[in-house]
Amino acid sequence: MRPCKEHDDLGCPMTRINRVDGRGPSPCRIMLIAGAPGKVEDKKGKASLGKAGSELENLYLPQCAKVDWRNVYITKVVKCRTNEKDRAPNADELSACGQLLIDELFKQAPKFVGTIGSLSTRFLLGDDARIDKMHGFAYPCCLPSNGDVDRHNGFEFMVMPLYHPSYGLSNTAMMRHIMEDFERFGKMVRGDESVMWKEHEYANTVDHDSRG
């Protein structure tokens, strides 16, 4: 691994084999945002979901969401692998890469975004956002022209937090909840307002944390 030199002006402290860029149609209508790249993505230099990528492309998107994965743009909050143990990105790393993701959102201009895992959910919906309480519900989000994340002014899109498909690889009981999340994600994409967040439903979701 080598130091990240491609955006030194942003103070990126990470090392990597390859910078992991998003992949998919550009501009896009549907975007999925996960946390940080893993070993496979670092080697290939393209965003996926590692071992869970085949589940995403063959099960969760086509069968649950009824969405063709080739119509979905996939990217990461941070663009470089943190270390060989895939630890969670720290505040400096999020600060360095965060502007790259915001620039990416403006460029791709999605209408519907799925945040996969806790890291991307907190990035777009705030530090207090809890995926165990918010997954499967659609929330409005805005990015104003100055690039700061703001849910009230600017470039508007819908966001739905989703459990990470990797949980289904190690926890078959969680697979049902992941499938339900992607079914609801598909409904959001098709304009079904029944998946919009309603305050009285907030406490009725699965109480289980998720990896970034």
Query: Please, which pLDDT band fits residue 206 given cuts at 50, 70 and 90?
Result: very low
User: What does the pLDDT average to over 34-42?
Assistant: 79
The values of phi and psi at residue 126, to 5°, are: 110, 155
Q: Which one-letter DSSP state was computed for residue 128?
A: T
Which of 5-19, 77-91, 167-181, 182-196 is modeled with the greatest confidence?
A: 182-196
What was the pLDDT predicted at 168?
A: 84
User: What does the pLDDT average to over 196-211?
Assistant: 52
Share in percent of the chain as helix, strand, coil (round to 5): 40, 20, 40
The CA distance from 169 to 99, in Å, is 32
Residue 15: its H or E element: strand 15-16
Q: Provide the CATH number for the domain formed by 2-190 in this structure.
A: 3.40.470.10
User: What does the pLDDT average to over 59-78?
Assistant: 94
The CA distance from 190 to 71, in Å, is 14
User: What does the pLDDT average to over 168-178?
Assistant: 88
What global pTM score does this model have? 0.83
Two structure tokens written together for 41: 């993505």
The CA distance from 34 to 16, in Å, is 17
The CA distance from 82 to 91, in Å, is 12
The CA distance from 155 to 5, in Å, is 30
Query: Domain residue spans in the chain?
Result: 2-190
Beta bridge mates, 150: 142
